[in-house]
Chain A
Amino acid sequence: MSNQETLGLTEIKEKIQQLSDQYIHCIDDDRLEEWPEFFTEDCTYKIISRENYARNLPSALIYCKSKGMLKDRVSAHRNANIFEAHFYRHIVSNSLIMGESNGVYQVQSNYVVFQTKLDGNTEVYNTGKYVDQVVFEQGEPKLKERLVVYDTLNIPSLLVTPI
């Protein structure tokens, strides 16, 4: 497959959009084991509040500094942590490619996650913005960095499934 240099801008935009859509379907469909594969090996994934992000405070709900740490989040979800069953439904939109330098695309988009538990009631669980750095490996887009900057400072109960 052609590498990133020979992809036209339209194709790049389409592939970045596809990455975004596949990512959320993967999580919502409970195929969490596939989630780390959207990232590069040396990736950064952070779920961090708008409050901390704006004030340059580094503490994050989830902070992964490698694909291995992403896999550990999935492994803990499946094998270690105890929580009530819940289902996510992501809606992502307003995606913009803000710029590119040295093959790294800065992409931002809005997201909202609805959550439904076994009582059958759906709530707005978390909303915010994805702030991404996307690179192409063998012509396919990967997340070098995804910051999930959330507005919903008050996390309802707990967070165990990645956003």
Chain B
Amino acid sequence: MEAVTKNQELNLTWPEEGITRVPYQVFLDQKVYDEEQKNIFRGPTWNYLCLEAELPNKNDYKTGFIGDTPVVVTRSSDGTFSAFVNRCAHRGATVCMDSCGNSRSFTCVYHAWVYDDKGNLKGVPFKNGVNGNGGMPDDFDTKKLSLTKVRVENYHGMLFGTFDENLEPVDQYIGEKMGHYLQRVFNGRPIKILGYQRQKMQNNWKLYFENVKDSYHASLLHLFFTTFGINRLSQKGGIDLDERGMHHVSYTFGNKNENENVYKNEKVRSYSKYTLDDPSLLDGWDEFDDGITLAIQSIFPGVVLQQIHNTLAVRQLLPKSPGECELVWTFIGYEDDSDEQIEMRLKQNNLVGPAGYVSLEDGGIGEMVQRAIVRDGEKTAFIEMGGKDVKSENYRITETSIRGFWKNYRTLMGL
């Protein structure tokens, strides 16, 4: 896969082997990070903002990020969703200081400039001066000083934003195959927000995203899964990619089709007998009727939808610097869940999140990479498990999704 145009800003040549190698420099370099903000997060990508269910009422708003650009997302009086950069058009101050709320307008505290919930400038104190003195010049035009607007689309209850005026609609960006998996969860049933969990990791954001796409590590780094038969690689499942290899789903069917001896013969550390004192942690029900009990889905460049039995969550990945990123988990259920079902979701929540029985290792493993590569930017990672190409498979011992990420990364970055 050739990069279309070579990035002149970066002094970086991709290894000749292509997407089966990643130069560690991309995790370390400030210029690479800045180019990512320009070419990826402000480029031809749809970026997850929040859920429609988090803005249930007219004039609800919350703050968030696209890449590391701070944004505000609103539900207007007319019911439509808007987003704008959280930076006053006057002299650059943060306009919205709180994390969420309800308001028809946004007033910058510095000079009290007032914007409506679509980011249009509505009021400027002393615009006409005082007692005939001062004020703005005659050519002052409030229409030219709105907040930087972000294009917003609502995908079945997930709000996405882009800075790219010409980008295809979000449902084409996601595609039919990936859309099918998103719509399993976002199926029209009103969503109930169960809460937020947040963590910060001292590693480059791409190391976390690789980890999400990495179905190879699942039963080797996360012992809990394996021993309880929640996700063994010998269980039937696979990897589905969209046509471009940008997005992925790793899915697993329930306990019915597994070969336990495959594990015993591997003699890897991760196989061991382990019993729960209180197994009610795993009480659950068939959430969806397709037999899939586990689905981890990534949508480029930085959002994940997870179904692990009955614990459902959206994970939003936020780059902060070459060596730091944050992860915001939004846990959900449905408004028509019974109390019993909610309780089971909350117990299964123990499996995931920053303290999750099966996900906590992911919070630490990226840091272990970031520290070890510090002085070896010209060395490379080796990504050939499952082959050298990018395609859907009916098995999960593969790094094909990771290769898909780098294929699209290289295209967007001109590398």
Contact = CB atoms under 8 A, between A and B. Distances in A.
Interface of A: 47-49, 51-52, 55, 57-66, 68-69, 71-72, 75-76, 79-84, 153-160
A48 to B, nearest CB: 8
Given A72-B276, A160-B355, A81 B198 contact: no
Nearest to B361: A82
B32 interface: no
Interface in B259-280: 272, 274, 276-278, 280
Interface centre among A49, A59, A82, A159 (most CB of B within 10 A): A59
Contacts of B173: none
A63 B349 contact: yes
- Majority SS of interface residues in chain B? mixed
A18 to B, nearest CB: 27
A148 B253 CA distance: 36
B200 A154 contact: yes
- Chain B interface residue number, banded: 35 or more
A63 B346 contact: yes
12 contacts: A57-B193, A59-B195, A59-B346, A60-B346, A61-B197, A61-B353, A63-B350, A68-B278, A157-B199, A157-B200, A157-B363, A160-B355
Interface of B: 193-202, 221, 223-224, 227, 272, 274, 276-278, 280-281, 326, 331, 342, 346-347, 349-350, 353-355, 357, 360-361, 363-364, 367-368
A82 B222 CA distance: 8
B364 A157 contact: yes
A58 B193 CA distance: 9
Nearest to B221: A82
Contacts of A48: 195
B361 A59 contact: no
Contact of A158 (B278, B326, B361): B361
A68 B363 CA distance: 26
A47 B350 CA distance: 11
Contacts of B363: 155, 157-158
A153 B198 contact: yes
B199 A158 contact: yes
Contacts of A47: 355
Interface centre among B197, B353, B368 (most CB of A within 10 A): B197
A72 B281 contact: yes
A75 B276 CA distance: 8
Contact of B357 (A51, A80, A155): A80
Contact of A81 (B347, B360, B367, B368): B360
A55 B227 CA distance: 36
B289 to A, nearest CB: 26
B194 A58 contact: yes
A79 B272 contact: yes
A83 B354 contact: no
A76 B279 CA distance: 13
A20 to B, nearest CB: 22
A28 B201 CA distance: 24
A71 B277 contact: yes
A154 B201 CA distance: 9
A1 to B, nearest CB: 28
Nearest to B313: A59
Interface centre among A51, A75, A155, A156 (most CB of B within 10 A): A155
B196 A52 contact: yes
Interface centre among B276, B350, B363 (most CB of A within 10 A): B350
B222 to A, nearest CB: 8
Given A80-B227, A80-B357, 13 more contacts: A58-B194, A60-B346, A61-B354, A66-B280, A68-B276, A69-B278, A81-B223, A83-B364, A155-B363, A156-B200, A157-B363, A159-B355, A160-B355
